[in-house]
Chains A and B, each alone.
Chain A
Amino acid sequence: MPLLEGVSPIRRTLPYLQAGKLVFKDRVKVMTLNYRVDERAEVIRKHRLAHPVNVNDPNVFQQRPWYIQSHPAHHGIQAFDHWNVPQIQYKNPHIQIASFKNQAPAPFIACYMDDGEEVLFDVDNHTSTQILDRLIKVLGKSEETLALEALAAEKKDNPANFGKNCSRFCICNVPGQVPCPSLVPLPKHWRGKYHHGFEDEDD
């Protein structure tokens, strides 16, 4: 099987996308990432055939000083945008995620709630792991909540399930199954009190 094409193609695999940890709370509707990138690198990336230069040569980006250049303080959020945003968008398909590059000198993340409230995160010199942990702590659902939601979804998904919050409350409603013991008593050898030799209520 041939190798996947593209930059970091592991991001285009379902196991990677499903391994995302951040699931936003229901109030969060918009997330924007604001950081700086090397303007010349962006121009070369978009018009690669028109700019036949070696992008690995650091001297290339020093030739024209009026191009906006990135800063080490922005590397963490750049890595976050590259590695974690695909997972976040996959896990939160109803949230709008947008990246604004070279709009402000300092990197930050802005989240907007359903009532228009804004939550800002200053991510200057933060690594991508630190940013992700911070977002999970502030605006993400806890692991307990996610486990409960997964259980509820599983109950709803599988039509064979019965019980609370399912389509059928009890299996005794299904024709062909054992009828409800409140209406038709079970055979005595099925009941524990007779099996273990307890007092017979018929006596």
Chain B
Amino acid sequence: MSLVQTLRSSAVLLGRVRPRIHSAAARPTKIKGPEYDVTPSECIVVGVPHLQFDPRLKRHFKHEEQVLAHDSTNLDLKVGDTLLLKKMSQPFLPSVQFEVIRLIQKFGDAQDPLTGDAVTAEDYRSHEHAVAEVYGGSGPFDYAQAPPRGRLEGTKDFTDKVTYYRWHKFGKKDDYSLVS
């Protein structure tokens, strides 16, 4: 059984949300933009990290496979969020066999699962505030007053879009497109 089949026969997978798939070849007409979103609706792209064994070198290499998952939850999923996927009894589409069951970690807003405290990569947020109180200064980033992620999507944040070169003048000029 190949690794792809092994993964797809697994009941539960853990992965991270990846950008949606865009394809230049899927555009129906010249009027639309060069990069067309071909990810099925109500689906997201999830990168599943795993270890792939090389029988000649006898070593496991890190590999990430992209899997399409059906998202019927109301969680506002962004790129980088860690999810738990479960295999569906009836596939949503021939290429979509997994569905999202649980959000494990939000990207940039992580919590320690053992204590439930909010953390940064290096320390607990409460400890960082306590250190700032003792030593003074401006203190760490104030997560409580920070707006939720995704506030500037479409206006100033175009990280979910795919950059492309403007070889043709379309009706609307995208701010994230480039001129060679």
Known contacts A11-B59, A96-B7; is A105 also within 8 Å of B124 by CB? yes
Interface-located stretch among B20-28, B71-79, B105-113, B149-157? B105-113
Chain A's nearest CB lies how many Å from the CB of B140? 13
Query: B10's contact among A32, A96, A97, by CB below 8 Å, is which?
Result: A96
User: B6 — nearest CB in chain A belongs to which residue?
Assistant: A94
Interface size on A, residues (CB 8 A): 34
Q: With the chains together, A33 CA to B90 CA distance in Å?
A: 31
**Is the Cβ of B49 less than 8 Å from the Cβ of A94?**
no
**Secondary structure at chain A's binding surface: helix, strand, loop or mixed?**
mixed
Provide the residues of chain A in CB contact with B6, threshold 8 Å: 93-94
CB < 8 Å: which of A6, A94, A103, A116 contacts B84? A116
The CB with the most chain A CB atoms within 10 A, among B12, B13, B84, B112, is that of B12
State the Cβ distance, A145 to closest chain B Cβ, in Å. Answer: 21
Q: What are the residues of chain A within 8 A of B144 when measuring CB–CB?
A: none
Which partner residue on chain B sits nearest A95 by CB separation?
Answer: B10
A14–B59 CA distance with the chains assembled, in angstroms: 10
Q: Could you tell me if A108 and B12 are in contact, using CB atoms closer than 8 angstroms?
A: no
Known: A89-B51, A116-B84. A13 touches B13 (CB 8 A): no
Asked whether A19 is an interface residue with its Cβ less than 8 Å from the other chain, the reply is no
Chain B residues packing against A (C-beta within 8 Å): 6-7, 9-14, 48-51, 53, 57-60, 84, 86, 101-102, 105, 110, 112-115, 119-124
